[in-house]
Amino acid sequence: MRRENSGEMFSSFFKEKRVLVTGHTGFKGAWLSLWLRHLGAKVFGISLPPPTAPNLHELINNHVFTREITCDTRDLERLAPAILATDPEVIFHLAGQAISRRSYQEPLETFQTNVNGTLNVLESVRRARLNCVVIVITSDKCYENREWEFAYRENDALGGHDVYSMSKAAAELATQAWKKSFFLTDPKLGPVATVRAGNVIGGGDYAPDRIVPDCVRALIRGEAIQVRNPSATRPWQHVLACLSGYLWLAVRLHQEPNISASWGGTFNFGPDGSGRQTVGTLVQEFLKSWPGKWIDASDPKAPHEAKLLSLSIEKAGALLGWYPCWTFAQTVQQTAAWYYQRHVAGDPNILQLSIRQIEDYSEVARAKSLAWAASA
């Protein structure tokens, strides 16, 4: 397949494309859907109702979606016809149980949602023989975390101490099995890839047991932020950073479907070196934009959480020309500004603020001459 100009492809590829986002009512799914619509795509969503109130979906749903379907991805008999009805050209599969600590309370639900739900999406595509690009979003927690300083690469061992991490590793392995067994052997099926992102932050996340929503809830109440694990190090990145990678990978797979096999079919999308910071540092940076206080609420009896995690993004840089745009400080500032405008300043049009952040991020990428944002 002929490779087209990079800038032209990203700016025009999604226009009028039928794109399905599973998990579109969640934090990342809502941002991805908004960006797709901003690029001119016809966006379809399959998901359960929003997992929190408030949420980002409620701010964008009337503007973004061609059609929304309420469906549990664990229900293959309902999911298969729902996917077929959207007739997608690209599928981004984000639906899942995304909270690590919840996996201790709901281990079977976590595993069934993250593994069976993923396989049901792939099986629906296989049975209908849909020739579409499929991007399966898992997590950086899928790696067998050895608590070492080295950044994990795509060919490192998968595993997990907790059910959430193991469910993501299992989803990766199951996807590779379906891909090798069915998708690579059937010319009528499109390419499949999996992607692993770092710790994603940005406006619109209200999930429990996540540090940024915890900060926002405490600050709104005028309370000190209770930080469970201030010394834990994570690869922090803005939601738009990893989404730019997902979108660009979809474009490249559509251009050259065979690269899914030759490139190994999986990519890390993480921050640059400045994003590798402790939870305590993140909170302190957040408080520069929204003043308040925090306290160390470490609990030695709390469920296990990894202390050290870092991702290598060398592969995405070398093969896709993809790199993140905002520094750690910019990432936190943009995140805090979004929440402050909604919950303190009372901005009546957070939708437009969100679109402006997409445009601002794209402009920085263009100034850096990144492949996906380069001028045509």
**pLDDT value for 12:** 87
**pLDDT value for 7:** 44
Quick one: what percent of the chain has pLDDT higher than 70?
94
Is pTM, for the whole model, over 0.75? yes
**What integer best gives the mean pLDDT of the chain?**
92
**pLDDT value for 326:** 97
Report the run of H or E that residue 361 belongs to, with start and end: helix 350-367
What SS3 state is found at 225? strand
CA atoms of 269 and 237, how far apart (whole Å): 9
Judged against a pLDDT cut of 50, whether residue 2 lies above it is answered with no
Judged against a pLDDT cut of 90, whether residue 9 lies above it is answered with no
**pLDDT value for 132:** 97
**pLDDT value for 305:** 59
Q: Using the structure block, give the residue that is written with the tokens 């599969």.
A: 93
Is the separation of the CB atoms in 151 and 163 below 8 Å? no
Q: Cβ-count burial of 55 within 10 angstroms (0-12 exposed, 13-18 middle, 19+ buried)?
A: buried
The H helix count followed by the E strand count for the chain is 15, 12
Task: State the pLDDT confidence band at 18, using cuts at 50, 70 and 90.
Answer: very high
Please report how many Cα atoms fall inside a 13 Å half-sphere around the Cα of residue 150, on the Cβ side. Answer: 8
Please report how many Cα atoms fall inside a 13 Å half-sphere around the Cα of residue 332, on the Cβ side. Answer: 23
For the record, the structure tokens of 240 come out as: 């738009």
Quick one: what percent of the chain has pLDDT higher than 90?
79
CA atoms of 279 and 322, how far apart (whole Å): 26
What SS3 state is found at 276? strand
What CATH number was assigned to the domain covering residues 6-199+237-272+312-326+349-373? Answer: 3.40.50.720
Segment 204-211 shows an average pLDDT of 94
Return the DSSP state at 157.
Answer: P
Strand spans (E) along the chain: 18-22, 42-47, 65-70, 90-93, 133-137, 192-197, 199-201, 225-227, 233-238, 266-269, 276-278, 294-296
CA atoms of 185 and 192, how far apart (whole Å): 12
CA atoms of 66 and 61, how far apart (whole Å): 10
Segment 2-15 shows an average pLDDT of 60
Closest CA relative to residue 164, chosen from 109, 212, 207: 109
CA atoms of 15 and 368, how far apart (whole Å): 24
Residue ranges per structural domain of the chain: 6-199+237-272+312-326+349-373
Judged against a pLDDT cut of 70, whether residue 6 lies above it is answered with no
**pLDDT value for 300:** 65
Segment 251-278 shows an average pLDDT of 89
Q: What is the pLDDT of residues 61-72, one digit of tens each?
A: 999 999 999 999
Higher pLDDT pick, 149 / 51: 51
Tell me the backbone φ, ψ of residue 159, rounded to 5 degrees: 170, -165
CA atoms of 312 and 270, how far apart (whole Å): 7
Q: What is the pLDDT of residues 144-162, one digit of tens each?
A: 887 777 889 999 899 988 8
Segment 105-132 shows an average pLDDT of 96
**pLDDT value for 160:** 80
Tell me the backbone φ, ψ of residue 190, rounded to 5 degrees: -90, 180
